[in-house]
Amino acid sequence: MLNAEFRTILVFNHPTIQPSNLSTVQLFTFIFAPSTTPTIRTIPTIRTIPTIKTIPTMKTVKTPKKLTNILCIGAGYVGGPTMAMIAKKCPDRKVTVVDINAERIAAWQSDALPFYEPGLKEVVAETLGRNLFFSTDIPAAIAEADVVFVAVNTPTKTFGQGAGRAADLQYWEKTAHEIRECATHDLIVVEKSTLPVRTATAMKRVLESGGAHRFEVLSNPEFLAEGTAIADLEKPDRVLVGSDETPTGAAAREAVVDIYAEWVPRDRILTTNVWSSELSKLAANAFLAQRISSVNALTELCERTGADVDEVARAIGRDSRIGPKFLRAGVGFGGSCFKKDILNLVYLCEQRGLTEAAAYWNSVVEMNEHQETRFVAEMVHAMFNTVAGKRIAILGYAFKADTSDTRETPAKVVADLLAEERAQLVVCDPYALPNARKELARHGDLVSFEEDPYTAVEGADAVAVLTDWRQFPELDWARIFARMRKPAFVFDGRNCLDRRELFELGFHVRAIGKAPLSHFA
Helix (H, G, I), strand (E, B) or coil at 387: coil
Cβ–Cβ < 8 Å for 78, 220? no
Interaction between residue 429 and ligand UGA (CB under 6 A): no
Interaction between residue 337 and ligand NAD (CB under 6 A): yes
Q: Which of 5, 71, 74, 134 binds ligand NAD (CB under 6 A)?
A: 74
Taking the least distance from each CB to ligand NAD, the nearer of 3 and 175 is: 175
Interaction between residue 171 and ligand NAD (CB under 6 A): yes
Q: Choosing among ligand UGA, ligand NAD, none, which partner's interface includes residue 104 (Cβ < 5 to 8 Å by kind)?
A: ligand NAD
| Active-site option among 337, 349, 428, 496 | 337
Three-state SS sequence of 34-78 = CCCCCEEEECCCCCCCCCHHHCCCCCCCCCCCCCCEEEEECCCCC
Taking the least distance from each CB to ligand NAD, the nearer of 175 and 293 is: 175
Helix (H, G, I), strand (E, B) or coil at 367: helix
Q: Which of 167, 288, 392, 432 binds ligand UGA (CB under 6 A)?
A: 288
Strand extents, DSSP E, 450-507: 462-465, 489-492
CB of 268 to ligand NAD, least distance (A): 17
Q: Residue 491 carries which side chain, given as an amino acid letter? A: F
For residue 235, the Cα-to-chain-centroid distance in whole angstroms is 17
Interaction between residue 400 and ligand UGA (CB under 6 A): yes
Cα gap 79→150, rounded to integer Å: 8
Cα torsion 113, 119, 122, 124 to 10°: value is -50
Interaction between residue 181 and ligand NAD (CB under 6 A): no
Interaction between residue 233 and ligand NAD (CB under 6 A): no
Taking the least distance from each CB to ligand NAD, the nearer of 188 and 387 is: 188
Interaction between residue 152 and ligand NAD (CB under 6 A): yes
Residue 337 falls in the annotated catalytic set: yes
Q: Choosing among ligand NAD, ligand UGA, none, which partner's interface includes residue 292 (Cβ < 5 to 8 Å by kind)?
A: ligand UGA
Q: Give the binding-site size for ligand UGA (rule: CB under 6 A).
A: 21
Q: Which of 17, 100, 202, 515 binds ligand NAD (CB under 6 A)?
A: 100
CB of 494 to ligand UGA, least distance (A): 7
Residue 110 burial by Cβ neighbours in a 10 Å radius (0-12, 13-18, 19+): exposed
Interaction between residue 174 and ligand NAD (CB under 6 A): yes
Q: Rule CB under 6 A: which of 177-216 touch ligand UGA?
A: 194
Interaction between residue 117 and ligand NAD (CB under 6 A): no
Q: Which of 30, 171, 263, 326 binds ligand UGA (CB under 6 A)?
A: 326
Interaction between residue 334 and ligand UGA (CB under 6 A): yes
Eight-class DSSP state of 517: B
Tell whether the torsion through CA atoms of 329, 333, 339 and 345 is positive or negative.
negative
Taking the least distance from each CB to ligand UGA, the nearer of 333 and 472 is: 333
Q: Which of 10, 25, 78, 274 binds ligand NAD (CB under 6 A)?
A: 78
Q: Which of 76, 330, 396, 453 binds ligand UGA (CB under 6 A)?
A: 330
Interaction between residue 278 and ligand NAD (CB under 6 A): no
Helix (H, G, I), strand (E, B) or coil at 323: coil
Q: Residue 42 carries which side chain, given as an amino acid letter? A: T
Taking the least distance from each CB to ligand UGA, the nearer of 40 and 301 is: 301
Cα gap 377→508, rounded to integer Å: 16
Cα gap 137→144, rounded to integer Å: 12
CB of 327 to ligand UGA, least distance (A): 6
Cα gap 520→382, rounded to integer Å: 11
Eight-class DSSP state of 26: P
Helix (H, G, I), strand (E, B) or coil at 353: coil
**Beta carbons within 8 Å of 191's beta carbon, 6+ residues apart:** 150, 199, 200, 203, 217, 218, 219, 220, 221, 278
Taking the least distance from each CB to ligand NAD, the nearer of 188 and 457 is: 188
Strand extents, DSSP E, 338-385: none
CB of 82 to ligand NAD, least distance (A): 9
Phi, psi of 59 (to 5 degrees): -90, 105
Cα gap 62→375, rounded to integer Å: 56
CB of 182 to ligand NAD, least distance (A): 11
Taking the least distance from each CB to ligand UGA, the nearer of 81 and 330 is: 330
Cα gap 512→509, rounded to integer Å: 10
Taking the least distance from each CB to ligand UGA, the nearer of 105 and 327 is: 327
Which residues are catalytically annotated?
337
Which residues are near ligand NAD by CB under 6 A?
73-79, 98-101, 104, 138, 151-154, 171, 174-175, 193-194, 222, 224, 226, 336-337
Which residues are near ligand UGA by CB under 6 A?
194, 222-226, 285, 288, 292, 326-328, 330, 333-338, 399-400
